[in-house]
């Protein structure tokens, strides 16, 4: 883990527990009450995964769901998810059914048409109940996700116990899990819940199940942006609801300018509503700094996976990038990199000694664009040459 002021490739701060140390920690027994009725000899016939959003959280739940699939290959697995992340699990080889909770429609109707909203919720709960899972796993650990697990009528419901839950979600669980070390990667946290439910241990693989069509769309977009140049992608945006996670725009401009001035093509990841800001960033940076088209999630993942490097804050595209096989330089301020760092080897983490407050005037102290560019160029120099997009799936 590289921290503020550390040299590229050097040792980071020894303060606190590093991402690498957390990832390499041996698996400890996971206390729970009561023990799971499922395991190698007794398999659930149907199970429900509850991880409603967001994109990065769904990506980090995929390795745990792969453990469930490998442990119980004959089980039918359903996933309850919100629309934004639904494309990641729809048609996935580890998922048999997808049940989409229309959160925004419900939130809009709750005030204007409360009876209609209640009816929508009842129909969604009825769909889950008809699926009739023997086991439900609440990976999200919020009041809403706990309620979804309870509405499924699964007789066995796994969730995290207090104080490792949120919003009292433990009350909806029949089996409550406490991690011996709660400050671990979200990938490890999700895998621990799957193992507590009876899944066997195994490799933690985030398979995005990218199709040939996804890769072809990514090739066309890469050709439009890079025209044969080495491609670096930057992901400067986050949702407006989490705007406090954004690294300052003027610093992104300096990073993009430094990369373009050295001959790299820079793709600015921009979704709906972000195109104008991405164009402004590109114009200010100069050179070949081009916003991406508003691609669907899987073609975007394929594009990122074929980049020489992805530079990002703590965002959904960052998690798509590492899952698709790209090296990442990730920038953290108010969020904890121990919990949220890209999974796997070959990534660089830039973070202050401890997470900042989202209300701070400078949420990224000491993490100037020159430092980010230094780390990015060091990693690009260590791995010269274009990366084939055919090898971007984990």
| 16-55 tens-digit pLDDT | 222 332 333 334 446 566 789 998 889 999 999 999 989 9
217 and 179 in a common domain: no
Name the CA dihedral angle for 51, 57, 60, 61, rounded to a multiple of 10 degrees.
0
Distance CA 39, CA 354 (A): 39
Nearest to 1 by CA among 342, 379, 358: 342
Q: Is residue 116 part of a domain?
A: yes
Query: How many Cα atoms occupy the beta-carbon half-sphere of 269 within 13 Å?
Result: 32
293 and 221 in a common domain: yes
Give the DSSP H/E element, type plus range, for residue 291: strand 289-291
Q: Is residue 361 part of a domain?
A: yes
238 and 100 in a common domain: no
Tokens of 215: 């890769």
Q: Is residue 204 part of a domain?
A: no
Identify the CATH number of the domain in which residue 384 sits: 3.40.50.2000
Q: Which residues of the chain fall short of a pLDDT of 50?
A: 1-29, 109-110, 388-394
Give the DSSP H/E element, type plus range, for residue 135: strand 135-138
Tokens of 351: 């973070």
**What pLDDT was estimated at residue 120?**
73
Q: Report how many helices (DSSP H) and strands (DSSP E) the chain contains, helices first.
A: 14, 13
Q: Domain count of the chain?
A: 2
**What pLDDT was estimated at residue 34?**
72
Q: Is residue 275 part of a domain?
A: yes
322 and 377 in a common domain: yes
Distance CA 369, CA 328 (A): 16
106 and 37 in a common domain: yes
**What pLDDT was estimated at residue 114?**
58
**What pLDDT was estimated at residue 164?**
92
Nearest to 331 by CA among 392, 375, 294: 375
CA distance to 29, 256, 318, 394, per residue, from 232 (Å):
41, 9, 13, 20
Expressed as residue numbers, the domain containing 91 is 28-196
Reduced to 3 states (helix: H, G, I; strand: E, B; else coil), residue 37 is coil
* 234: β partners: 268, 311
Q: Pairing between strand 265-268 and 76-81?
A: unpaired
- Please spell the DSSP secondary structure of 299-366, one letter per residue: HHHHHHHTSSEEEESSSHHHHHHHHTT--EEEE-SSS-HHHHSPSSSS-EEE--SS---TT-S-SSTT
Write down the pTM of the prediction.
0.87
227 and 96 in a common domain: no
Q: Is residue 373 part of a domain?
A: yes
The residue out of 144, 172, 196 marking a domain boundary is 196
Q: Are 201 and 145 in contact (CB under 8 A)?
A: no
**What pLDDT was estimated at residue 384?**
60
Q: How far is CA 37 from the centre of its chain?
A: 30
259 and 166 in a common domain: no
Distance CA 64, CA 137 (A): 10
378 and 238 in a common domain: yes
């Amino acid at each position: 883990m590289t921290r503020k002021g550390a040299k590229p490739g050097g040792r980071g701060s020894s303060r606190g527990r590093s991402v690498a140390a957390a990832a390499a920690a041996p698996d400890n027994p996971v206390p729970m009450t009561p023990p799971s009725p499922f395991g190698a000899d007794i398999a659930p016939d149907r199970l429900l995964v509850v991880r409603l959003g967001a994109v990065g959280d769904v990506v980090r739940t995929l390795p745990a769901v792969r453990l469930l699939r490998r442990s119980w290959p004959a089980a039918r697995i359903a996933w309850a998810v919100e629309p934004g992340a639904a494309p990641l699990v729809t048609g996935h080889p580890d998922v048999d059914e997808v049940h989409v909770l229309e959160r925004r429609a419900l939130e809009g109707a709750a005030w204007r048409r409360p009876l209609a909203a209640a009816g929508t919720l009842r129909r969604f709960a009825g769909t889950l109940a008809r699926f009739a899972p023997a086991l439900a796993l609440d990976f999200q650990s919020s009041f809403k996700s706990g309620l979804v697990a309870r509405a499924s009528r699964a007789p066995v419901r796994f969730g995290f116990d207090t104080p490792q839950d949120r919003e009292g979600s433990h009350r909806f669980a029949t089996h409550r899990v406490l991690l011996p070390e709660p400050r671990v990667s979200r990938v490890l946290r999700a895998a621990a819940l799957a193992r507590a439910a009876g899944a066997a241990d195994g490799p933690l693989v985030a398979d995005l199940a990218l199709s040939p069509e996804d890769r072809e769309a990514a090739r066309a977009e890469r050709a439009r942006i890079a025209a044969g140049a080495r491609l670096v992608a930057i992901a400067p945006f986050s949702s407006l609801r989490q705007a406090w996670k954004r690294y300052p725009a003027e610093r992104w401009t300096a990073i993009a300018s430094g990369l373009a001035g050295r001959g790299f093509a820079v793709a600015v990841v921009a979704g709906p509503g972000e195109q104008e800001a991405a164009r402004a960033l590109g114009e200010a940076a100069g050179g070949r700094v081009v916003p991406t088209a508003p691609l669907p999630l899987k073609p975007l993942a394929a594009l990122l996976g074929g980049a020489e490097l992805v530079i990002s804050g703590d965002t959904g595209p960052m998690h798509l990038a590492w899952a698709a096989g790209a090296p990442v330089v990730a920038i953290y301020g108010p969020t904890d990199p121990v919990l949220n760092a890209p999974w796997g080897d070959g990534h660089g983490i830039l973070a202050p000694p401890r997470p900042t407050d989202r209300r701070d005037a400078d949420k990224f102290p000491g993490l100037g664009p020159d430092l980010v560019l230094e780390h990015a160029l060091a990693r690009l120099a260590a791995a010269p040459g274009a990366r084939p997009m055919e090898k971007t799936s984990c």
